[in-house]
């Protein structure tokens, strides 16, 4: 020991993009296209931008084709508004949906390999919640790259950022934002492989760090999604918005939580409990297994809680079955090839002859860093923080409200990535401020503490217990007593973290040190989710309170949560934008606050 | 309880502080459907927090967790205990980092170094074709796309490069070459001369011996050697 941590070097650039997934690199590509002279640094936690989580998105990206004779942007806007349980911002909905097809064309011209129809045009597929004429018919609205749409996008935006000359800092994390006179002027970064801290001064900083699914035990999200970006925002004294709005996909594969597409059920797959009863008949007599995502997720959780689930001995997780045995071979071999192969690969089961274990899996965080419709980050008083932008899953503008429709995230990454790039360009013309004093001291102190701590607590165990508590108490079902217990547990976990000793003292690729920091981030995220879930005494979209099962107009606002000390939160509100409704234009009445029934 | 396996994992370690490597043996009990990444996590939680290993998506879509298991390059996130036992016929596994990139610590390698080859291969349209006048999109028939679509599934896990018998010194490598071959076949690429220069250069495809080791190990089951063979014939 005794090695003193220090800032190794300082870099300067025009634009610092933190997070090189779909959103971050779309923004980088726009900047290179418009201003080839700009110096851009793109930071990614993973080993290379292509490894970012966007690469795993399967289904598709929604965008209304102006050549389509039956579909219209206004229908897509309605679906998004209704799907989000009337909690999205309508100015954002309008802006993003109107910009969708331009992105499809951009991708195509940059070389994405979209799947094609027989005439050679871009093919489209249907997705849940996307309708024509305000719910009357099903819309063919999602463009796709077979079952790897996200990978197609990621490869394209990464290629363009590389071609444009972005400087990539891979295996590097942000630990602190830098401010001077209220403006964001860059960030402190920790280079994991080298074990070095650096500061980067930038005229504009864009946060695009993605999701935070690792807060939950079972998740479709990658190992790196530990909510770092949100934790850094909280430590800067800024709020997060709607953290309680967490989406659970009904069918994650036990135990890794890997996504098993809804298509399984649309092809006739049946959910069964321990007694092999097709239980959805009891919960949704008409729609059964094809009821909306949140209803199916709650039904599965109820079966498990009432003792009709099955315990998986390897992963020690309870689940129900999905029965695909009765489906014709061609569904297994052709139509559902990829997903069926996941069961083979990850649980070694043949879906043609065996029952397959599934359970709700954390999937997406609708909430995040509050921004306006240009992606400019806002503080607790809804004022813009100059020089700081956020985009992608870590941000909340809010397009998705309290429940995201499938395929709308990829749409958001691209359109907002472009808009944020444009906004950054106009911001760069404004007055610049210099770097602050004492930059990085907070990060160095934090990491020094981690390295010096003594005790016998086990990092991995605390992480495991925290994720378990969040899944059980702040997951699909929430109730006052349970959330309060979760908050008490989180406080206890936080106290235990002080007694985690890190045995690897060398800073290079110090996985223990990184995971120790991640654990603090996870706890911060978990705490804001739990506190906001406790505060919101109603049910809205994916946030379901058993003690308050209805949506209430009293809570028709976005939650803002700030947390300067662990567990001590202060709440604020942001109004939900209703500008489409208020415009009194054609169809405006479809954008009122209405019940969410399908 | 379902059956468990008594496993012995012998893992090649490397400590950058002392620049030393050694083999360390871990013994653990594990259920049949745990993946090798789950085993590494189990080692961290129960036996040794210092073991460093790489992964991200953990379902074979990102290619971060490639390691050699009993000499075979594979994704640690895709291999289940019972399948590993069936595949190798043993319960002892020797795990070493891939050699296509320098080791940073234990099983973690510096992927950036490996990726330099892919970057040299320009994984983007060098000169994108302009849309024909009056057209709002390209027309690419499913048949045309299907000629090269398989190659676009590559996740750059470098398992093929690790297995390639041509070695990593003089040859740009199967996946990096394939990144250029795809764009030779893509009707939207107009920068084809530049690609030919690379593909037929000193580090280009003539280094390939058509042994098909690459196709054999590819976790995405891409017939990499097929694309290299097309390039050798100029059949883009
Ligand atoms: C299995 C799965 C399937 C999905 N399918 C679809 C779909 O079909 N359609 C759809 O619309 N949406 C889908 N989604 C959702 C969508 O894929 C994600 O919301 C989206 O890809 C997030 O993109 P992003 O650019 O915000 O973040 P990411 O792609 O996750 O990128 C985040 C970047 O930030 C970096 N980073 C993270 N932390 C730090 C840090 N501390 N410091 C520096 N860098 C950091 C990461 O390394 C990465 O480069 C799916 C999600 C999952 C998990
Ligand atoms: S076929 Fe060519 S590229 Fe593939 S392993 Fe053999 S030598 Fe290497
Ligand atoms: S071709 Fe296959 S083995 Fe080679 S890098 Fe791509 S996915 Fe991996």
B56 to chain A, any CB pair closer than 8 A? The answer is yes
Inter-chain CB proximity B56 and A222 less than 8 Å: yes
- Best to test chain B binding among A223, A259, A518 (most B CBs inside 10 Å): A223
Closest CA of chain A from B139, distance in Å? 5
Q: Given CB atoms, is B183 within the 8 Å cutoff of chain A?
A: yes
Q: Is the beta carbon of A364 within 6 A of some atom in ligand 1?
A: yes
Residues A251 and A344 in one domain: yes
Domain boundary among B92, B109, B126: B109
| CA-closest candidate to residue A367, choices A568, A237, A212 | A212
Q: Are A350 and A450 found together in one domain?
A: no
| B58 closest CB neighbour out of A256, A502, A506 | A256
Q: Residue B121: CB partners within 8 Å, gap ≥ 6?
A: B172, B176, B177, B179, B180, B198
Q: What distance in Å separates residue B38's CA from the closest CA in chain A?
A: 9
Boundary-marking domain end, from A315, A347, A363: A363
Closest chain A residue to B115, measured at CA: A48
Nearest to B32 among A109, A118, A314 (CB): A314
Q: Is A224 in the pocket of ligand 1 (CB under 6 A)?
A: yes
Residue keyed to tokens 């966007």: A54
Q: Cβ B57–A67 below 8 Å, yes or no?
A: no
Whose CA is closest to B115, among A49, A481, A2?
A49
Q: Which of A56, A110, A116 sits opposite B57 (nearest CB)?
A: A56
Please check whether residue A430 lies inside any domain of the structure.
no
Residue span of the structural domain in which A489 resides: 441-552
Considering only CB atoms, which chain B residues are within 8 Å of A121?
137, 139
CATH number where B19 lies: 3.10.20.30
B176/B214 Cα distance (integer angstroms): 12
In sequence order, what are the residues at sequence separation of 6 or more whose Cβ sits closer than 8 angstroms to the Cβ of residue B204? B171, B172, B177, B198
β-partners of residue A168 are A42
Please check whether residues A252 and A346 belong to one and the same domain: yes
Q: What is the pLDDT of residue A453?
A: 96
H-type alpha helices, chain B: 36-42, 81-88, 111-120, 142-148, 159-163, 174-185, 192-199, 213-217, 224-233
* Cα–Cα distance for residue pair A594/A511, rounded to 1 Å: 49
Please check whether residue A371 lies inside any domain of the structure: no
> How many domains in chain B?
2
* DSSP per-residue string spanning A306-365: TT-SEEETTTTEEEEEEE-TTS-HHIIIIITHHHHHHHHHHH---TTTS-EEEEEEEEEE
List the CATH number of the domain containing A256: 3.90.700.10
Taking the Cβ of residue A313 and every Cβ of chain B, the question of whether any pair is shorter than 8 Å is answered with: yes
Above 60 in pLDDT, residue B1? no
Whether residues B27 and B127 fall in one domain: no
**Model pLDDT, residue A341:** 82
Q: What is the mean pLDDT of each run of 10 residues along chain A (598 residues)?
A: 80 96 98 97 98 92 95 97 95 98 97 94 87 90 91 97 98 97 95 97 97 94 96 98 96 86 82 96 85 85 95 87 91 73 89 94 96 98 97 97 93 98 91 79 96 96 97 95 98 98 95 98 98 97 95 97 95 98 96 83
Does B115 lie in the same domain as B228?
yes
In-domain check, residue A548: yes
Task: Tell me, yes or no, whether A190 lies in a domain.
Answer: no
Q: Which of B109, B125, B155 is the last residue of a domain?
A: B109
pLDDT at B155 over 60: yes
Q: How many Å lie between the centroid of ligand 1 and the Cα of residue A394? A: 9
Ligand nearest to the CA of B73: 3
Task: Tell if the CB–CB gap between A503 and B49 is shorter than 8 Å.
Answer: yes
Mean pLDDT of chain B: 95
Q: Residues B16, B98: one domain?
A: yes
Name beta bridge partners: A572.
Answer: A560
SS3 A38: coil
Q: CB contact, 8 Å: A3 with chain B?
A: no
Q: Where among A308, A340, A363 does a domain terminate?
A: A363
The reply to whether A345 and A453 lie within a common domain is: no
Answer whether A224 touches B (CB < 8 Å).
yes
Query: Does B132 lie in the same domain as B82?
Result: no
Looking at residue A431, its pLDDT comes to: 65
For ligand 3, whether the C-beta of B154 sits within 6 Å is yes
**Claim to verify: residue B85 and residue B160 sit in the same structural domain:** no
Beta bridge partners of A543: A540
Nearest residue (by CA) to ligand 3, atom 7, is: B154
Residue A531 belongs to some domain of the structure: yes
Is any atom of ligand 1 closer than 6 Å to the C-beta of A58?
yes
Report ipTM (2 d.p.).
Answer: 0.96
Q: Are B88 and B126 in a shared domain? A: no
The best mutation among B228, B230, B232, B233 to test binding of ligand 2, ranked by most ligand atoms within 8 Å of the C-beta, falls on B228
E strand or H helix at A125, and its extent? strand A124-132
pLDDT at residue number A33: 97
Query: Is B152 in the same domain as B103?
Result: no
pLDDT at B38 over 60: yes
User: Among B158, B159, B173, which residue has the most ligand 3 atoms within 8 Å of its CB, making it the best to mutate?
Assistant: B159
Establish if B105 touches chain A: CB-CB under 8 angstroms: yes
CB contact under 8 A, A122 and B60: no
- Residue B17, min C-alpha distance to chain A (Å): 6
Nearest to A412 by CA among A362, A371, A383: A371
Residues 77-106 of A with CB under 8 A from B: 105
The answer to whether residue A462 sits within a structural domain is: yes
Q: Do B41 and A460 touch (CB under 8 A)?
A: yes
Q: Which of B109, B142, B165 is the last residue of a domain?
A: B109
Q: How many domains does chain A have?
A: 2
> Mind giving me the DSSP string for B191-214?
-HHHHHHHHTSTTSGGG-----HH
Residue A222 to residue B57, Cβ atoms within 8 A:
yes
Burial state string for A448-474 with b = 16 or more CB within 10 A and e = fewer than 16: eebbeeeeeebbbebbebbbbbbbbbb
Same-domain check for residues B118 and B167: yes
Residue B203's domain comprises 111-233
Q: Are residues B104 and B193 located together in one domain of the fold?
A: no
B196: CATH: 1.10.1060.10
Whether residue A252 is found in the same domain as residue A356: yes
Residues of B whose CB is below 8 A from A115: 142, 145
Flag whether residue A346 sits within 8 Å of chain B, measured between CB atoms: yes
Could you give the angle at the alpha carbon of A532 between the alpha carbons of A244 and A487, nearest 5°? Answer: 105
Q: How many residues does chain A have?
A: 598
Chain A residues near residue B15 by CB distance under 8 angstroms:
506
In chain A, the residue whose alpha carbon lies closest to the alpha carbon of B40 is A460
Same domain, B9 and B102: yes
Residues A359 and A450 in one domain: no
Give the mutation candidate from A47, A213, A257, A345 for the B interface (greatest B CB count, under 10 A): A47
Residues 228-257 of A with CB under 8 A from B: 255-256
Question: Integer distance in angstroms from the first to the last C-alpha of chain B?
Answer: 54
Residues B63, B26 share a domain: yes
Q: Which atom of ligand 1 is least distant from the CA of A221?
A: 53
Looking at the domain assignment, is residue A356 inside a domain?
A: yes
Residue A9 φ/ψ, nearest 5 degrees? -160, 170
The pLDDT of B143-168, averaged and rounded, is 93
Contact of A339 with chain B, judged by CB distance below 8 Å, is answered with: no
Distance from Cα B68 to the centre of ligand 2, integer Å: 18
A–B: how many Cβ contacts below 8 A? 185
Q: What is the DSSP letter of A500?
A: B
> Considering just the CA atoms, what is the radius of gyration of chain A in Å?
23
Residues B215 and B183 grouped into a single domain: yes
| Residue of B124, B131, B141 to mutate, interface with A, max A Cβ within 10 Å | B124
What are the pocket residues of ligand 2 if the criterion is a CB atom closer than 6 Å to any ligand atom? B 163-166, 174, 208-214, 224-225, 228
Instruction: Output the CA B226–ligand 3 centroid distance in Å.
Output: 13
Select from A346, A363, A380 the last residue of a domain: A363
Q: Flag whether A226 is in a domain.
A: no
A418 token code pair: 């472009």
Give the residue numbers of A annotated as catalytic, written as ranges: 293
């Amino acid at each position: 020991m005794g090695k003193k941590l220090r800032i190794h070097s300082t870099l300067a650039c025009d634009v610092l993009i933190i997070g090189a997934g779909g959103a971050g690199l779309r923004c980088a590509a726009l900047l290179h296209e418009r201003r080839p002279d700009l110096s851009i640094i793109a930071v990614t936690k993973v080993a290379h931008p292509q490894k970012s989580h966007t690469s795993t998105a399967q289904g598709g990206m929604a965008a209304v084709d102006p050549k389509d004779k039956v579909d219209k942007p206004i229908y897509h806007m309605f679906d998004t508004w209704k799907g989000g349980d009337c909690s999205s911002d309508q100015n954002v909905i309008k802006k993003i949906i109107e910009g969708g097809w331009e992105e499809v064309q951009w991708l195509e011209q940059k070389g994405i390999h979209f799947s094609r129809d027989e005439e050679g045009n871009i093919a489209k597929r249907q997705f849940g919640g996307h309708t024509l004429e305000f719910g009357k018919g099903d819309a063919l609205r999602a463009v796709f790259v077979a079952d790897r749409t996200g990978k197609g996008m990621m490869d394209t935006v990464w290629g363009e950022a590389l071609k444009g000359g972005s400087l990539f800092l891979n295996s590097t994390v942000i630990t602190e934002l830098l401010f001077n006179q209220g403006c964001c002027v860059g960030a402190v970064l920790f280079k994991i492989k080298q074990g070095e801290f650096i500061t980067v001064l930038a005229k504009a900083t864009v946060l695009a760090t993605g999701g935070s699914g690792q807060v939950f035990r079972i998740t479709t999200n990658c190992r790196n999604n530990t909510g770092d970006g949100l934790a850094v925002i909280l430590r800067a004294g800024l709020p997060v918005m709607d953290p309680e709005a967490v989406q659970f996909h009904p069918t994650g594969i036990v135990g890794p939580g890997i996504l098993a597409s809804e298509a399984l059920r649309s092809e006739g797959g049946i959910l069964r409990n321990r007694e092999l009863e097709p239980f959805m008949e009891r919960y949704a007599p008409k729609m059964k297994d094809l009821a909306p995502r949140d209803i199916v997720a709650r039904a599965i959780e109820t079966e498990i809680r009432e003792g009709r689930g099955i315990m998986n001995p390897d992963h020690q997780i309870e689940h129900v079955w999905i029965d695909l045995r009765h489906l014709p071979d061609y569904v297994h071999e052709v139509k559902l090839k990829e997903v069926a192969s996941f069961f083979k690969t990850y649980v070694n089961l043949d879906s043609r002859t065996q029952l397959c274990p599934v359970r709700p899996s954390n999937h997406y965080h609708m909430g995040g860093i509050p921004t306006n419709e240009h992606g400019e980050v806002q503080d607790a008083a809804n004022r813009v923080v100059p020089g700081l932008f956020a985009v992608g899953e870590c941000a909340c503008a809010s397009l998705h409200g309290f429940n995201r429709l499938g395929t709308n995230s990829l749409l958001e990454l691209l359109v907002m990535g472009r808009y944020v790039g444009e906004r950054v360009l106009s911001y760069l013309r404004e007055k610049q401020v210099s770097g602050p004093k004492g930059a990085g001291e907070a990060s160095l102190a934090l990491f020094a503490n981690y390295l010096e701590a003594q005790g016998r607590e086990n990092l991995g165990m605390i992480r495991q217990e925290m994720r378990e508590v969040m899944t059980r108490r702040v997951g699909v079902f929430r109730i006052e007593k349970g959330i309060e217990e979760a908050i008490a547990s989180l406080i206890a976990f936080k106290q235990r973290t002080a007694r985690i000793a890190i045995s690897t003292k060398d800073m290079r690729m110090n996985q223990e040190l990184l995971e120790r920091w991640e654990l603090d981030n996870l706890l911060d995220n978990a705490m804001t989710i739990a506190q906001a879930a406790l505060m919101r005494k109603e049910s809205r979209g994916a946030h379901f309170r058993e003690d308050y099962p209805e949506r209430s107009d009293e809570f028709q606002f976005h939650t803002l949560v700030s947390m300067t000390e662990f567990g001590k939160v202060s709440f604020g509100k942001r109004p939900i934008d209703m500008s489409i409704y208020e415009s009194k234009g054609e169809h405006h009445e479809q954008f009122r606050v209405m019940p969410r029934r399908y | 309880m379902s059956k468990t396996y008594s496993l012995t994992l012998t893992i090649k370690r490397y400590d950058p502080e002392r620049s030393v490597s050694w083999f360390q043996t871990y013994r653990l009990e594990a259920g049949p459907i745990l993946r090798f990444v789950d085993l590494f996590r189990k080692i961290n939680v129960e036996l040794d927090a210092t073991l460093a290993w790489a992964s991200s998506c953990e379902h074979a879509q990102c290619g971060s967790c490639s390691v050699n298991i009993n000499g075979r390059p594979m994704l640690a996130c895709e291999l289940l205990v019972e399948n590993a036992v069936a595949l190798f016929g043993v319960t002892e596994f020797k795990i070493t980092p891939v050699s296509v990139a320098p080791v940073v610590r234990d099983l973690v390698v510096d992927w950036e170094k490996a990726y330099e080859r892919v970057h040299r291969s320009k994984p983007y349209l060098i000169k994108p074709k302009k849309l024909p006048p009056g057209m709002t999109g390209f027309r690419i028939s499913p048949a045309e796309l299907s000629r090269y679509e398989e190659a676009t599934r590559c996740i750059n896990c470098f398992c093929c490069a690790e297995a390639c018998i041509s070695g990593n010194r003089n040859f740009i490598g199967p996946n990096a070459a394939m990144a250029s071959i795809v764009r030779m076949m893509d009707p939207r690429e107009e920068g084809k001369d530049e690609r030919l220069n690379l593909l037929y250069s000193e580090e280009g495809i003539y280094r390939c011996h058509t042994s098909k080791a690459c196709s054999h190990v590819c976790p995405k089951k891409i017939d990499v050697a097929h694309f290299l063979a097309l390039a050798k014939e100029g059949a883009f």
